[in-house]
Structure 1
Amino acid sequence: MILSELIDYGTLRLIWWVLLGVLLIGFAALDGFDLGVGMLLPFIGRSDVERRVVINTIGPVWEGNQVWLVVGGGAIFAAWPPLYAVSFSGFYLAMFAILAALILRPVGFKYRSKREDPRWRSTWDWALFTGGFVPALIFGVAVGNVLQGVPFRFADDMRIFYEGSFFGLLNPFALLCGLLSVSMLVMHGSAWLALKTDGKVAWRARRYGGIAALLTLVLYAAAGAVLWAYIGGYRITSAIDPAGPSNPLLKTVVTESGAWFANYAAYPWLLIAPVLGILGTLATFFGLRSKAEILPLLTGKIAIFGIISSVGVSMFPFILPSSIDLRSSLTVWDSSSSHLTLFIMLVVTAIFLPIIVAYTSWVYHVLWGKVDEAGVTDKSSHSY
């Protein structure tokens, strides 16, 4: 018996859908606080030394955290080729904007302290702000557009046609989701700074983090209300074969009001996702107010898990709906790689993902502790 046959095709597809969610949540939970710290930098740091303290809380770890984004992109390429083709080509300008913003981060870290000129350093501080704000906003905007459906279609020969534009992505609901993403990551970045700093920097971090947590609650509730009242979801009306061919054109799909909430009615236990999003955000708010250190960071990650996973379970089995040709919508059951490819990738992931997690944990253990002004001003240190 071929080893790959130990796990049937439908189960492998479901496993990779879960793994894709794990990678995306891992990126948001780890690199997310890096983005949040970058957005907070010009506001929390009131002096050059304070801003250096803020920068040095993420300077040693941001590169390792960004590995989750790279692995996520690679997983989409290997496990869901049509999803990769549509999203990375249709969202080309948006992806380019994210890439350009992310490039500002290493450049900002390296060049900021090369000159003593306050204007020079202030310029790089705002570059680091841009490197956090733009990706956070566009990732949220992308999720908002996915929930509404993306204007793409497949021809009968499976050629892909994208009929949208960059500015078409900036619609009101997508921008609402973008602002939710920004506030969520600012909340998480504040929790990180509350843990890694003390004094006035930590005080300001708790203050801004509390505001961001309240905004996250309001925006999350508003997005859910708009999704329920004004945006129709997608539903498959034809027979579903979890082990069927990877051809999205073989199914029929309709749009219905409230369809994105049908999974919660069918499986009430899935409500744990939005509940964790709400409770995690509330716990982060009260943790920051109570001057706790580790708790707000942990509850912030729970909030991120709940908010992002609520999108995934709401849409299941859809992963990228089409707004102009419903049957072209990509689902878990008709847009994956072959059975053998998914199995090989699962084996590779089972080997290397624990290594990544172990190495990341070791790095955080080694770098545990607070960053203070004395440390960053010490001439013998290697601080930014």
Structure 2
Amino acid sequence: MIDFLFNYETLRIVWWVLLGVLLIGFAVTDGFDMGVGALLPFVAKTDIERRVAINTIGPVWEGNQVWFVLGGGAIFAAWPALYALSFSGFYLAMFLVLFAMILRPVAFKYRSKREDARWRSNWDWALFIGGAVPALVFGVAVGNALKGVPFHFSTDLRPSYEGTLFGLLNPVALYCGLVSLSMLVMHGAAWLAFKAEGPVADRARIIGGKAALAAAVLFAGGGVLVWLGLLGGYEVTSAIVWDGPSNPLGKTVIANANGWLRNFYATPALCLVPVLGIVAPLLAAAGFGARREGLTFLASKLGIFCIIATVGLAMFPIILPSSTNPSHSLAVFDASSSRATLRNMLIATVIFLPLVLAYTAWVYSVLWGKVSEASVRGAGSSAY
């Protein structure tokens, strides 16, 4: 059993799954933080209402960002070629995301330092930027990954990226950005409906229902585009050597209009995942209307899980396709770190990831309960 778990093929697939788990964990946890920030100008009309919304995420946002750090660390250690290409090729987009996310902790810390209404309003808009911009840009990044990224390798495996920031903002990528934004706005509204009381929760239910419908329709529309072959796709046509060295130049990949559908054709049971990616947001929309906060939040989580998982299942075994030279695309079987690195990282993950999950669960249990205007007033300066 140990030999099977630690062979190169298994380790590569396990780390592909773990990367998906970390990305989904980030979207499910920090996703509602971003969603609340994006919703702040629309669900809260007065200063006390804005404080209610902010205090639903204020105690947990730092812990939720651990998933972002873990995801970046996993890419760096397990998929170094992916890290090099994505973090250098998407540098300006990454800088935009980091700038927006840096605004958030500064806004949390400084917003309530002064009673001045203009001061607080400026920091509230900083929270909006810190929520809406990453939610949009992360989807744009996924859209570019689906469309293909303009890069290639030299014979000595030096990567060359030929794209620009404005090239990243193509119609396919922006469409995926809208899917991501609507999905996380839905999730933020589900959190506010679950955690807040009063007008903030009421407005969140109305907006959340619309965002959930938008997420379902946009995701279904993207599926139709893939099915019609309008979005394109890629397919590995050469033999796959799962336990071979990491060399992205040793395979043949072609652009294929139905490339992102091949796994679903080969294993029809996988179609349940994208179907749930449509059904779950619709259930969330119904939950908003029925005021079933707990079920709405669970449906929102399920929708996020299935939407992100659909992308991973469609692209497998490709991780990042090249639009300029498809055969230089990065794949699960030729873009990973060494077997020893993946093995040692897996041992560390088995030890420490349960600790992160246990601590996160404990924090949420301690902070259980709704946030109301009365509770914020009663907390005084200790509240955000």
TM-score for both structures, normalised by structure 1: 0.98
Q: Is 2:238 aligned against 1:204?
A: no
Alignment of 1:340-355 (within 5 A): 340-355=340-355
- Measure how far apart 1:149 and its partner are: 0.4
**Partner in structure 1 of residue 271 of structure 2:** 271
**Partner in structure 1 of residue 144 of structure 2:** 145
Provide the secondary structure at the position in 1 that maps to 2:249. Answer: helix
Matches of 2:231 and 2:313 in 1, distance apart?
17
**Partner in structure 2 of residue 184 of structure 1:** 183
User: For the Cα contact (< 8 Å) 1:141–1:174, is it kept in 2?
Assistant: yes
Matches of 1:4 and 1:101 in 2, distance apart?
45
**Partner in structure 1 of residue 313 of structure 2:** 313
Matches of 1:177 and 1:379 in 2, distance apart?
41
List runs of 5+ in structure 1 lacking aligned partners.
Answer: none
What per-residue deviation string (whole Å, max 9, x for no partner) do you get for residues 275-295 of structure 1? 221121111111111001111
Q: Where do 4+ consecutive residues of structure 1 move more than 3 Å?
A: 3-6
Q: Which segment drifts farther, 89-98 or 268-277? A: 268-277
User: For the Cα contact (< 8 Å) 2:217–2:278, is it kept in 1?
Assistant: no
List runs of 5+ in structure 2 lacking aligned partners.
Answer: none
| Amino acid aligned to 2:376 | V
Q: Which segment drifts farther, 50-59 or 113-122? A: 113-122
Alignment of 1:162-241 (within 5 A): 162-229=161-228, 230-241=230-241
User: For the Cα contact (< 8 Å) 2:114–2:120, is it kept in 1?
Assistant: yes
- Measure how far apart 1:378 and its partner are: 2.1
Provide the secondary structure at the position in 1 that maps to 2:235. Answer: strand
| Amino acid aligned to 2:273 | A
- Measure how far apart 1:17 and its partner are: 0.4
Provide the secondary structure at the position in 2 that maps to 1:161. Answer: strand
Matches of 1:171 and 1:109 in 2, distance apart?
33
Q: Over aligned residue pairs, what C-alpha RMSD do you find? A: 1.3
| Amino acid aligned to 2:74 | A
| Amino acid aligned to 1:239 | A
| Amino acid aligned to 1:236 | V
> Aligned residues, how many?
383
User: For the Cα contact (< 8 Å) 1:276–1:303, is it kept in 2?
Assistant: yes
User: For the Cα contact (< 8 Å) 1:235–1:256, is it kept in 2?
Assistant: yes
- Measure how far apart 1:227 and its partner are: 2.7
**Partner in structure 2 of residue 112 of structure 1:** 111
Alignment of 1:33-44 (within 5 A): 33-44=32-43
Alignment of 1:314-333 (within 5 A): 314-333=314-333
TM-score for both structures, normalised by structure 2: 0.98
Matches of 2:68 and 2:319 in 1, distance apart?
18
Matches of 1:60 and 1:199 in 2, distance apart?
20
**Partner in structure 2 of residue 253 of structure 1:** 253
304 and 377 in structure 1: CA distance in 2 versus 1, 3 angstrom threshold: same
**Partner in structure 1 of residue 367 of structure 2:** 367
- Measure how far apart 1:244 and its partner are: 1.2
Provide the secondary structure at the position in 1 that maps to 2:234. Answer: strand
Matches of 2:271 and 2:87 in 1, distance apart?
31
User: For the Cα contact (< 8 Å) 2:192–2:204, is it kept in 1?
Assistant: yes
What per-residue deviation string (whole Å, max 9, x for no partner) do you get for residues 8-55 of structure 1? 111110000000000000000000000000001111001100000000
Matches of 1:191 and 1:293 in 2, distance apart?
7
- Measure how far apart 1:190 and its partner are: 0.4
What per-residue deviation string (whole Å, max 9, x for no partner) do you get for residues 297-351 of structure 1? 1110000000000000000000000000111100000000111110100000000
Q: Percent identity?
A: 63
**Partner in structure 1 of residue 59 of structure 2:** 60
**Partner in structure 2 of residue 285 of structure 1:** 285
